[in-house]
A and B are shown apart, each in its own frame.
Chain A
């Protein structure tokens, strides 16, 4: 767990809020129900979407377990453009079944529209949807939760601009937005570009606005900053995501101190495994390595094979997949970084057609290295009389 040590100006001068009683909240965000998981085969994507539903149910269970004063949903619980009627009914059922107060601040993916689940589903009274464009209060015991909604998929401004409160008790903000310092980390592809982050804010605006803390959604990597908390997405949407998010149990003591505990809600983990198979002399050796590296794993695995193997080794995905651990639900093989050891130095010295072919391909300026490798491997296999000529996949 990483503590954000950055502090805001005047932070130390703020008197700690005095509460009549302690409070406990469970915060969750960025579940992204009905995300397509386009990278996965259809069956796997469907399985993952079901996993996401389990995450929401688990968060409700956590809220009951810790006897939370409220379950805080920080946006992007589902994807508006894809949400199905079944998912809408599921959300309503689960949240209506929650034993505690539920507070929802819609995000840029589940933005509040006339047709959104938040507006149309039959929620019971204990489910409160913040539907304002500016932060509005909702009292939960001695704590005031300030929430607001995205009303459009993009272009939502800073909720904290011009916002200031002067209330006794603990003031907790709940919204979906991008903390500017974290934007370049979370969305490096967008940092520096003209793309505007969603509801951007600066961390120092939280205490300056009179807020004691903020639970914020949007970043998929969890953050435990002084004045704000990103729960992170509780289940990775793609390989490569850290997957360190989950439900956060925020305990606020009588003097306004916050204790945060993350709960892993994901029932199925995703592992991005890189295996260097250089030195393996045959396919069986590679399978052995794969089995050794994945035998203890569960959930979903992406095998990234790297290194260099002999050209004569015939690697078949199904062979490799049969080697992964039995507890693995699904695995995909990526071997774009795997190279067959082509003795190109010797071959390009040949005075034969083969040598001429190797030289020509190596010197062809119009093709990229990946294609060059595939053409060489294919041609050499063909000249070797082999029939397994699909090296491009």
Chain B
């Protein structure tokens, strides 16, 4: 894009003024008051127009104040711009009314809809910019240059702003910081001690939820209480119905009773209606006395006298009775048993035969005799060949003695031969000496080899054995003689077999005698024990025992005496009974006489004229009188009972009153049913019980109703609690939603920043590097841009790297302009070259720096239109000398 013509119909001091611009470097020179700033603003306004959105007036206020025409209502500017696609566009802005026309000059049709931004057409949109970013990107003011020169971080700030918002006020980093700060205040963190909206909303929600839970529980309790009250009311109703029914039943029962009682009263009243004759009645006491006497009369024993001895005879017989025995009348069983045992054992001992006799020697003597008989018959010991062996041994010993003599001779000869050999050796006769030695050796060998055992010891041993044998023979002869002598002295024959027979017979006899002795001893022991028991039994019966048999006889005599006395006294009870009977007969006669007198007196007391002289008829007379009196008494009792019953039934009422009540009861039954009620349900006692139940039920209901009435309505207002929870939920949701959006925005911004910086950094670095050597006359050869923060670094010829902020002012200005040009290229639409407008860029530069900058801009104008406003005459002069055909120098005259 390039400005072709700008027309200020009415803009600041400009009225119907025009600027025709070339596509290359346009140097617009003018002294002070030549309206350079107005033309600078007019270019901007002609391209971008004025915004119309909310806040536009406020934002444009400064612009309006500076550039609104001083006179008249018009405020308009227009321009013709040529786009790189060949179109020529006419832009006409009525700035006062914020109305714009954008027309394709060739086609004559409006194209403003294509570039509307912020409420109005903005031709910067074709450049990929808008009226704000165009100002920040394509327009460079002198102040911008001064800022980066004075601020070491100015270039980086510039880069970041441009890359973030095309030169807006805010970098992406600041935007992220702003969001973070906003989130901190508008959201905060969900921590226990946090106080920002998120935590507050959560806590409010928790509180509301807690209240809702409590309210819901309370509401449940409330409804349960309602149900309880309902049930209690039902129970009251039931209790009341039961009570009322019971009362009705009782009343029916009472009515029936009244009617029944009235019927009885009527009958009783008739029965008791008559005179009262109770004064003529015999007293109950007299009747009771008479009754008692009649009973006694009837109870009199009238049985006859028994036959038997008289009272005197009986007394005599009793007196003659022997005394009562003091001891036993039968023998004690222990005495009987013990006595029988003693008798039986004595018989057994008496029955034993004499003990068997003892004949001949005893068994031990017979055994010794048998032993000596055997010894007497023992044969003499034999020599067992010892004599023959002795002869052989003596012969052998003689031979051995001859042999030892020959061997001694050989050894002596050998020794001599050896001595001879030695002598010969000494004398040098070796050969002979050898022979001597051989002979000596042979003789020695013969002597040594011929050595034999000596049999002298064997001969001596045989001789010793033979001597021992002879001693044994002598001892045998001694023993035989001694045995025969012993046997002879005792009358035995040295025959072991016969002696043996005698020993066996003696052993059998000894065994028989032994058994007899044992049996006799056992019987004696048992007899002694039985005597002991008998003695003890007698002593137990009080009998002293010195002589057992005498004591037993004495005991048995006493028992027999006692038995006889007891037998005589068996008649005594009969005698005593007979004596008592005779005595009772005497007493009964006296009692009857007395009873007759009493009965006669009692009868006369009741019936004075009664015949009581005949005692035999008194009983019958008394019974008849008593029966008569009983009958009178019964009739009188019935009469009294009827009167009492009547009194009870009347219960202090008059008959008429009872009759009235009976009429009332009849009417009640007639109206409420006259059917009978069973006793159990009609009992009056059930009414108080049911009344108690009714009272208890009403009391329980009253208590529940009291609790119900005390229920706090607000405490069970579930609807309000739910509404509060919903409101809190909405707030939590709002804050969380805001948090989510802020987080997403931050993430996307950070990501976009990183992406954009990575893309922009190398492009800008390349754009600066292309020209840096040229504009710095070779001092710097390369520019580097850090993609993290868009920090700019330059490398000099020596390969050293310097931060852009550390360069000289002149170099900083140059690098700044190169960066701005590179940024314009990078940040604007790739298919449209963006004009570059500069205002007094060289005002602080010296001549050399000015030339360098102008040269830089001149070179850059090959790529895009550059419009340079200046008041410097040196610049004008440079333009006059250096601008070419595609450039233009416009010299403004001071405005009037």
Contacts and interface: CB of A to CB of B under 8 A. Distances in A.
A201 interface: no
A6 B719 CA distance: 39
Nearest to B751: A360
A378 B226 CA distance: 55
B706 to A, nearest CB: 13
B867 to A, nearest CB: 23
Given A36-B723, A49-B719, A389 B178 contact: yes
A113 B745 CA distance: 54
A298 to B, nearest CB: 22
A42 B740 CA distance: 27
A179 interface: no
Nearest to A34: B719
B726 A383 contact: no
Interface centre among A88, A119, A354 (most CB of B within 10 A): A354
A69 to B, nearest CB: 29
B736 to A, nearest CB: 9
Nearest to A49: B719
B756 A389 contact: no
B727 A371 contact: no
Interface residues of B, number: 77
A313 B175 CA distance: 19
A258 interface: no
Interface stretch (B163-171, B258-266, B673-681): B163-171
B193 interface: no
B172 A384 contact: no
Contacts of A114: 226-227, 230-231
A116 B222 CA distance: 10
B176 interface: yes
Interface in B108-127: 117-119, 125
Given A310-B54, A390-B738, A281 B119 contact: yes
B179 interface: yes
Contacts of A382: 170, 175-176, 178-179, 745, 749
Interface in A331-373: 343, 346, 349-357, 359-361, 364, 367, 371
Given A351-B828, A392-B741, A119 B718 contact: no
B500 interface: no
B133 to A, nearest CB: 8
A120 interface: yes
Given A350-B128, A351-B827, A86 B749 contact: no
B685 interface: no
Contact of B125 (A49, A81, A346, A378): A346
A150 to B, nearest CB: 16
A226 interface: no
Interface in A109-147: 113-116, 119-120
Contact of A357 (B55, B119, B749, B829): B749
B868 to A, nearest CB: 25
Contact of B166 (A310, A352, A393): A352
Given A114-B226, A375-B745, A312 B752 contact: no
B717 interface: yes
A385 to B, nearest CB: 4
A353 B720 contact: no
B165 A115 contact: no
B607 interface: no
Interface of B: 52-56, 117-119, 125, 128-130, 133, 162-166, 168-170, 172, 174-176, 178-179, 182, 186, 219, 222-227, 229-231, 708-709, 711, 713, 716-727, 734, 737-738, 740-742, 744-745, 748-749, 751-753, 755-757, 759-760, 826-829
Given A81-B219, A355-B756, 13 more contacts: A40-B723, A45-B719, A281-B53, A312-B53, A352-B165, A357-B752, A378-B745, A379-B748, A385-B178, A389-B182, A389-B742, A392-B740, A393-B738
29 contacts: A37-B719, A38-B723, A39-B726, A45-B719, A81-B718, A85-B709, A85-B716, A114-B230, A116-B226, A120-B229, A281-B54, A283-B54, A314-B54, A346-B125, A350-B129, A351-B756, A353-B753, A353-B757, A356-B756, A360-B755, A378-B179, A378-B741, A382-B178, A382-B745, A387-B178, A389-B742, A390-B738, A392-B741, A393-B738
Interface of A: 34-42, 45-46, 49, 79-82, 84-86, 88, 113-116, 119-120, 281-283, 310-314, 343, 346, 349-357, 359-361, 364, 367, 371, 374-375, 378-379, 382-385, 387, 389-393
